[in-house]
Amino acid sequence: MVLIYTENRKIYSNSQQDLIKDKMKGSTKSGSGPSEGLRDYVLAALSKIGLSVSSVEVRGEHEVRVFARTEHKAVDNSVFVEARKQKRRVGRHEIEKLKEWMDDENSDSGVFISLSGFTDEAYEYASERGIRAFTPEDLDGFGSERHVSPEHHIYAKVFEEAVDLVGATNYFNARRRKSLFGLGGYVEDIDFVEGRYAPVGVFELKRKADPRQHPTPNTTVGGENTFFINLTSCEIYYLYLGVAGRGARLKASNVLRRMMDLSEPAVRIIGDIVGGKELLFEDMDVDQKLLMQEDPHMMAYVENLGLVWRRDDGRGYLSNIDLPPFNDTRYNLYDHLAVKESVESRCPADEIVYPPSGLLQLLKDFMKSDGEFHGVIYMPYYYCRFVGSNGAYRYETLDNIRFKNG
């Protein structure tokens, strides 16, 4: 029997977590069976590691699957969670099943929770594929209230803040949800507002012009530029300009994260398509045609990722990614945002999930360029947790950056 729950995540107190652990051991006399005990334990565990639950699937007494999202980012980042309660340790093949589920849903974020631990091979496999593996001992190391951070942090370089805590609270206060037609006032309150920093990698790329005699829309244009990538969410930033250049704001694309598992040749072809908006079979060079012949299913997989689609006339592929061209000045945030040096703050920084070395190689393949990593700058933002009248939580963020032009 499979039970499906769709709900908002709840934060459990330490005493509630102890009760849940007792449930798992069968020491409580409540009416909940073992499947409910595992489910409650997993929900509590996910709240501790910063995940907001969208749906829960109880698959018998010893397995729970969860579709979740990261709770502290403005953009959607889907996370697929598998939890097991069994006598033996979880092996590699069980991690592989989670990876297959992630691949089927085009997700690159996974969590596996095992109450009995993992084999060394399973740990290694999970680590290589970016899947976070947790035991109860690992989860005990996380605090129940992540937003409390009494420590001081010193950041070598940050983007300058534009809004103080009062201003951010006023912003989120106006974002509270109202009842139907607004007749009953607000149906949620602000639980807390917290300042945080996102680690952003700075990458400088250079590339030479394409030497081909007869340029096509996909011909590589030479030049150099500076790119900024969020090292927690693997998103590339660029500036969005409103009508007549007014209302500038920051945008982020997750295109690099979606290409993470692709081969270098596939990434380079996607770069050609995105750079020229399309790639016709008649314009392909020898290497591109050879790759298509050697791996005829590659482009179908790329289409499934939502990166490109095939032209209606079958003559080639169109880009499904909206990014500025390589030389566009909107990529270089140093040209647009104010910067401060050596800042001391109580606000914590998000974890660096994606190593800069791997992102540099992926970026070089995508942009067909050479480049270097030039350190980390921290981007301030505010993180708000709302609580509804039914006790459910909701999360929003506010970029806290100051533009040079005001």
Least confident range from 71-85, 192-206, 301-315: namely 71-85
Residue 74's pLDDT band, with cuts at 50, 70 and 90, is very low
- For residue 152, give the amino acid letter: H
| Model confidence at 147: pLDDT above 50 | no
pLDDT higher at 8 or 381: 381
Most confident of 36-50, 142-156, 203-217, 351-365: 351-365
Look up tokens 């929003």; give the residue: 396
Structure tokens at 178: 């109202």
Q: Classify residue 41 by burial, with Cβ atoms within 10 Å: 0-12, 13-18, 19+.
A: buried
Whose tokens are 């990538």? That residue is 229
Please return the burial class of 378, using the count of CB atoms within 10 Å of its CB with bins 0-12, 13-18 and 19+.
Answer: buried
Which one of 28-42, 143-157, 206-220, 255-269 scores highest in mean pLDDT?
A: 255-269
The whole-number average pLDDT for the span 39-53 is 80
Q: What is the spatial distance between Cα 99 and Cα 338, in angstroms, rounded to a whole number?
A: 41
Fold of 2-140: Trna Endonuclease; Chain: A, domain 1 (3.40.1350)
Domain map of the chain by residue range?
Answer: 2-140, 153-399
Mean pLDDT of 298-304: 77
pTM: 0.61
The CA distances from residue 55 to 6, 43, 69, 302, 337, in Å, are 4, 10, 10, 27, 39
Residue 120 reports pLDDT greater than 50 = yes
Query: Helix 34-48 and helix 14-25: axis angle, to 10°?
Result: 150
Q: Are strands 235-240 and 223-230 parallel, antiparallel or unpaired?
A: antiparallel
Picking from 264, 238, 207, 229, the residue whose alpha carbon sits closest to that of residue 329 is 238
Buried b (16+ CB within 10 A) or exposed e, 347-370: bbbbeebbebeebbebbbbbbbbe
pLDDT class for 261, splitting at 50, 70, 90? confident
Q: What is the mean pLDDT of the chain?
A: 78
Q: Residue 223 has what pLDDT?
A: 87
Rounded distance between C-alpha atoms, residue 193 and residue 178, angstroms: 19
Q: What angle do CA 264, 203, 344 make, to 5 degrees?
A: 135
